[in-house]
Structure formats: structure tokens, C-alpha cells
């Protein structure tokens, strides 16, 4: 998935120098401001809790171009929530255990397994009872325009990751990205973005249990390298400030420290936006 995103990033970069030639307007359009709300038509999640589980999702994105001293900047926020079911065969206390029934999807890789497995053979697992999971990502970005006419931007941002999985930490980290904003002042527009967050991390404390020996209450730093993307199109609704939004949205998180698994979310979003 992230290889495709890198390819799309390359296309965006390659197109930037040609933007002014391709545009049919001799000067940049007026700064735009928009808000759109999307819901998932389909989606998938892969992580230690979900082996390719069907996923519902919704998202809210807002952006505003701001001209300062003759140059355009953009501030934006992009929130996404991915919702899926984690399954388990039994009902027992959530937490670290060395006794889990083989084949029970409630037995998942624990945070810090790399450390545990150097000492314990076999290592412990984390038992998680069935529940409806919700993973969220919130991106805040500030970018500068890099093309004379078209809305190509590069910028810096911060990512917040959260989940309602029992005892899991939230993570956050800095990154950068490239963005082709939608032209919501046009009847039809293509857009896309790709962001890389180098080390989104958070703190986690292992359970206080004698079974873990010296790792009882052990502090871990859970962190990922996170890639996020959004590729889509907008369709203006004539004689209104509204537009339709269709986009392929997702992220990939690769372990950098103590995390239980790499993770991916993907969803096809359909929604409506307001330009103002």
C-alpha cells in the first residue's frame, strides 16, 4: 500500500513544475476554504486485533488557504475514525497470560513482545475479549505553496493516533508531506496527499504481575513510522456552495519500538463538502 502512495507522491512532485502550464487560468484562483465530512463505503484493517477485518469509517477534513505577503500557505486538519470488530472465543480477564487456547483470536501479540521473547520461551500473549474497536488518526498540518498556479503544497505536521483497545497508549509525532488540494471552485477536481511521520510514539506500562518477573510494571515506549494518504476527486453541485467528495484514504504504521504489530487502515470514502 505504501509503495503505491510513494508512486502517487512521485506523480504529484513531477506534475508541480507543469502546473502553471496545465492551468487554464492566467493567475492563481482566490484562496479557498473548505470542510468535508465523509463516510466509508468499504474498508479493511490489519493489525494484531484484526487480520483483514471489514471496517467502517468516517472522516472530517478542513483546510484554509491563507495569503501572507503575497505567498499562499495552508492550514488543515484531517480526522479519521476506523471502526471494526475484534473477535474472541472465550471470556476471561483482559491482559497478559502464558495460557491461551490455540486458535483463539482473543490471544494477540502483546506490546513489548520483542523484549519478553528474549527471556521467555514461549513468550506471553495478550488476551483481549471481543469488543468493537475504534482507531483514530488526527493530522494537523501547515504547508507552503510550491507551484505558481495550481494548489501544490509541502509542509510539516503532527499526527495523533488513538484507540479504545484495552490499556493501549495513544501515540503522537512530527512529520512532513506533500499535498495537492482539491480545487473546490471548479466543477471537477482531482487531489491527493501523502504524509510521513517519522516516529509516532507513546508510553505504556506492562501489567504488574509476578508471571512477568522483572518485567512486571516495566515501562515501554511504543512507536511507529506512519504513512498516511488520501487520493480523491470533488464534484461541485451547481448553484450551491456544496460539493461531493470521493476518496481512497488510509495509513500504514510500521513498528519502530515495542509495538505489537505493523498496522494498516484503508477505506473508500464518500461524502459532502462545504466551500466558503
- In the chain, domain spans: 2-23+32-275
Residue 3: what pLDDT? 47
Find residue 35's DSSP bridge partners: 62, 274
The mean per-residue pLDDT over the stretch 71-84 comes to: 97
pLDDT digits (tens, 9 = 90+) for 117-156: 999 999 999 999 999 999 999 999 999 999 988 999 999 9
Who contacts 238 (Cβ-Cβ below 8 Å, separation ≥6)?
187
**Residue 40 backbone dihedrals phi, psi, to 5 degrees:** -80, 135
- The C-alpha cell at 59 is 472522516
Residue 71, pLDDT above cutoff 80: yes
- C-alpha–C-alpha distance, residues 265 and 250, integer Å: 5
Q: Which fold has domain 2-23+32-275?
A: Lipocalin (2.40.128)
- The pTM assigned to this predicted structure is 0.88
Mean pLDDT in residue range 188-208: 97
pLDDT of residue 27: 58
Amino acid 30: pLDDT: 87
DSSP letter string over 132-163? EEEEEEEEEEEEEE-SSSS-EEEEEEEEEEEE
Amino acid at each position: 500500500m505504501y509503495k503505491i502512495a510513494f508512486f502517487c507522491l512521485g506523480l504529484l512532485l513531477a506534475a508541480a513544475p507543469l502546473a502553471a502550464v496545465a492551468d487554464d487560468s492566467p493567475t492563481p484562483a482566490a484562496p479557498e476554504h473548505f470542510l468535508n465530512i465523509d463516510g466509508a463505503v468499504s474498508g479493511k484493517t490489519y493489525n494484531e486485533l484484526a487480520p483483514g477485518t471489514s471496517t467502517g469509517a468516517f472522516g472530517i477534513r478542513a483546510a484554509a488557504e491563507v495569503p501572507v505577503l503575497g505567498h499562499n500557505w495552508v492550514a488543515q486538519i484531517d480526522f479519521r475514525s476506523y471502526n471494526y470488530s475484534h473477535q474472541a472465543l472465550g471470556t476471561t480477564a483482559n491482559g497478559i497470560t502464558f495460557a491461551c487456547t490455540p486458535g483463539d483470536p482473543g490471544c494477540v501479540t502483546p506490546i513489548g513482545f520483542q523484549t519478553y521473547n528474549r527471556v521467555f520461551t514461549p513468550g506471553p500473549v495478550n488476551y483481549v475479549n471481543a469488543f468493537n474497536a475504534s482507531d483514530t488518526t488526527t493530522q494537523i498540518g501547515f504547508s507552503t505553496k510550491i507551484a505558481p498556479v495550481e494548489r501544490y503544497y509541502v509542509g510539516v505536521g503532527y499526527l495523533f493516533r488513538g484507540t479504545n483497545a484495552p490499556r493501549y497508549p495513544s501515540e503522537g509525532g512530527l512529520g512532513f508531506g506533500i499535498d495537492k488540494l482539491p480545487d473546490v471552485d471548479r466543477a471537477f477536481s482531482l487531489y491527493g496527499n501523502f504524509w510521513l511521520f517519522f516516529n509516532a510514539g507513546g508510553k505504556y506500562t506492562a501489567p504488574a504481575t509476578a508471571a512477568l518477573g522483572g518485567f512486571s510494571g516495566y515501562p515501554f515506549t511504543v512507536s511507529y513510522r506512519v504513512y498516511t494518504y488520501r487520493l480523491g476527486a470533488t464534484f461541485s453541485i451547481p448553484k450551491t456552495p456544496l460539493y461531493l467528495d470521493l476518496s481512497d484514504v488510509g495509513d500504514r504504521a510500521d513498528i519502530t519500538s515495542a509495538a505489537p504489530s505493523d498496522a494498516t487502515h484503508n477505506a473508500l470514502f464518500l461524502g459532502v463538502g462545504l466551500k466558503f
